[in-house]
Amino acid sequence: MKIPTGNNNDKFIKWLFRGRCVICYRPGTEINEIVPRSQSSDALFWKNRVLMCHEDHAEYHHLGTSKAAIEDLQKKREMFLRRIDRAEYI
């Protein structure tokens, strides 16, 4: 598959994560900003975005976006990209 142009668009994010949730590896349906828009002017930058399934996305927001939750999701993003051989996008 050809890499979608424009790293900040939704097609690129879906391609980057191979359509899978970074937490459970099921099909991803929702794009989430790791650091919320309210806390960052770069929230929509592709390195701050991940693909998640509906259930994990809801759980992430239900628990709140604490510093620990943000750091945990950043680590999950990195581990996921390494696992699918896309470490160059970390």
- pTM, two decimals, is 0.89
Average of per-residue pLDDT values in the chain? 91
Q: Which pair of tokens denotes residue 65?
A: 């976006």
**Is 33 among the domain residues?**
yes
Q: How many whole angstroms separate alpha carbon 32 and alpha carbon 26? A: 15
Q: How many whole angstroms separate alpha carbon 50 and alpha carbon 3? A: 16
**Is 80 among the domain residues?**
yes
CA 14, 16, 21 angle in degrees (round to 5)? Answer: 60
What single string gives the DSSP state of each residue in 21-71? -TTT-SBP-EEEESS-GGG-TTTTSGGGEEEE-HHHHHHHHHH---HHHHH
- Mean pLDDT, residues 37-50 taken together: 89
Q: How many domains does the chain have?
A: 1
Q: Which pair of tokens denotes residue 54?
A: 């509906």
**Is 15 among the domain residues?**
yes
**Is 5 among the domain residues?**
no
Q: For residue 65, is pLDDT > 90?
A: no
* Full domain range(s) for residue 25: 10-85
**Is 18 among the domain residues?**
yes
